[in-house]
Every structure is written in C-alpha cells, then in structure tokens.
C-alpha cells in the first residue's frame, strides 16, 4: 500500500512538473519558428527549419540589450537593498527590546494585506514631487522595503541561539556587530529565499516601470517586450516576441537555480525542530 501511494504521488508530481514545463517549451519552440510554422494547422511543436535569426532580429528590432541591462540593474539593486533593510528590521523585531515593538510589527504585517495597485497613485505623486520620474531612483527605491522580507527573516532570527548572542556580548560586541558578524551569516538560507522572491518579482514587474518611465532608454525588459506586440493595424512577429521572451526568462531561471539549495532550506527551516 505504501509503495502504491508513493508511486501515485510521484506520478502526479511528474505530470504536474511536465504540465508546468509545457508553456516554456512551447515558447522556446515558437522562438525558432518562421511565421508560416507559427500559424500552421495542425501546429507542429518541432520547428523545421530552425530559425535562429529570430534572436538576432529581436535584439535589432528594439533596444533589447538596454532593456535587459535596465532590468538587471534594477532587480539587483532592489534585491540587495531589500535584503539589507529587511534583515536589519527583522533582527531588531526579533532580538531587541524597544517601546511599541509588537504593535509596530503588527502594523508592518497589516501592510501585506494592501494590494500593490492601491499604492501606485500615492507613490507616483511622491516620485513626481521628488523629481524622480523617469529615473532609476523611481524604479529602485520603492522596492527597497517590504513587510514580507521582515516577517520571513524575523521568524529565522527568533530561532537564533541566545547563547551565541550572550557570548558575543561578553566578547565586547555591540548589537550591530552581533547582527552583522554573527546573526546575518547564519540567516543565509532565509536571505537566499528573500533574494529569489525579490529578484524574480522585480524582474517581472510591469505596471510600476510602465508608469514611472517615459523615455525608451529607461524602460525595463517587461515593458520593452510590449513593443513586439502589434496593434490592430500591424501583425505580431511571434517568433521574435518569443525569442525576446526566452531571453527575459534566463536571468530569473539562473537566479533560482543558483539559490535553489538555500531556497529549499529557507522554506523548510520552520518545519524542522531540533
């Protein structure tokens, strides 16, 4: 009975994994097709002949390299910044004593229930007042702070051994030194989890970059990909669009694969007890 259940479970998981891979594989196949193959009936998932020129045309059709570098810079700075701010706030909420600590933490958690779209108008007004519209400041600064990261890392720091903290104090470490030199290195799995979520979320962000950027050279990749979609007067070159889509997926996939080990540890940390 146990083997049968395991076989059923693995079969279902395998089918689920295959079903999630199908859209990506179809995008990859379409990126190598000619327009005739894309619209062929019945559809053929194997391109023949293979049209590698779609990738060259995609890079030449719009400033795709510029969009790519903008997204990479914004996602990297936002991820690093949020890891620093969230870890500092989380350590304070978990290990330090100060007035109104619990109400403040609950207030931070309450912001997670606010849909991001609600903040668009006040954030845009603030960016406009600061003169940051169509700049990297508007793309990066609003993403440097988030309640999810504080919550995630606070749960990790709550399990930080008190003995290590006391030993560090005896050795003369101040609270910042304990956080930076002792607590933070032990939180690598949680930091990696936060980093992956933040990087992928920022990399895929469309609405905010669309609103705060006006010039073409400030666009990020998701906004730039919209240039490949034709209007009712034009036709969409799906081969080029899918080629650009494949290019846009690579960094997010690479970040996940690199941090996968720590990501799994971070997610499982709360379910394992000594």
Closest by CA to 146, choosing from 119, 176, 124, is 119
How much is the pLDDT for 166?
87
Tens-digit pLDDT string for the chain (274 aa) = 667 888 888 889 888 888 888 888 999 999 999 888 888 888 888 888 888 999 998 888 889 899 999 999 999 999 999 999 999 999 999 988 889 999 999 998 898 888 888 889 999 999 999 999 999 999 999 999 989 999 989 988 988 888 888 888 888 888 899 999 889 988 888 898 899 999 999 999 999 999 999 998 999 999 988 877 764 446 778 888 899 999 999 998 898 888 877 766 665 654 444 4
How much is the pLDDT for 268?
60
How much is the pLDDT for 40?
84
Q: Which single residue is written with the structure tokens 């990087």?
A: 199
How deeply is 153 buried, as exposed, middle or buried, from its count of CB atoms within 10 A (0-12, 13-18, 19+)? Answer: buried
Residue 219 CA: distances (Å) to CA of 213, 214, 215: 6, 8, 7
Q: Rounded distance, CA 26 to CA 32, Å?
A: 10
How much is the pLDDT for 271?
46
How much is the pLDDT for 234?
61
- Backbone torsions φ then ψ of 236, nearest 5 degrees: -90, 130
Closest by CA to 242, choosing from 26, 20, 42, 37, is 26
Q: Rounded distance, CA 8 to CA 113, Å?
A: 37
How much is the pLDDT for 204?
93
How much is the pLDDT for 269?
56
How much is the pLDDT for 267?
59
How much is the pLDDT for 266?
60
Q: Which CATH architecture has domain 61-271?
A: Orthogonal Bundle (1.10)
């Amino acid at each position: 009975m146990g083997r049968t259940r395991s076989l059923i479970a693995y079969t279902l998981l395998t089918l689920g994994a295959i079903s999630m891979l199908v859209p990506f594989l179809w995008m990859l196949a379409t990126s190598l097709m000619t327009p005739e193959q894309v619209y062929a009936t019945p559809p053929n998932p194997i391109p023949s002949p293979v049209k590698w020129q779609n990738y060259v045309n995609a890079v030449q059709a719009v400033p795709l390299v510029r969009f790519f570098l903008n997204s990479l810079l914004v996602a990297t700075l936002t991820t690093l910044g949020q890891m620093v701010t969230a870890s500092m706030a989380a350590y304070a909420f978990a290990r330090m004593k100060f007035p109104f600590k619990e109400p403040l933490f609950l207030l931070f958690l309450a912001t997670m229930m606010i849909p991001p779209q609600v903040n668009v108008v006040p954030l845009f007004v603030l960016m406009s007042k600061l003169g940051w519209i169509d700049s990297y400041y508007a793309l990066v600064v609003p993403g440097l702070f988030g309640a999810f990261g504080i919550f995630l890392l606070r749960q990790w720091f709550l399990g930080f051994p008190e003995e290590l903290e006391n030993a560090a104090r005896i050795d003369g470490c101040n609270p910042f030194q304990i956080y930076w030199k002792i607590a933070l290195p032990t939180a690598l799995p949680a930091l990696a989890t936060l980093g992956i979520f933040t990087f992928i979320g920022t990399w895929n962000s469309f609405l905010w970059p669309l609103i705060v950027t006006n010039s073409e050279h400030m666009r990020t990749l998701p906004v730039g990909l919209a240039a490949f979609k034709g209007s009712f007067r034009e036709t969409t070159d799906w081969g080029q669009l899918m080629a650009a889509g494949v290019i846009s997926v690579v960094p997010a996939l690479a970040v996940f694969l690199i941090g996968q080990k720590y990501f799994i540890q971070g997610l499982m940390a709360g379910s394992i007890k000594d």
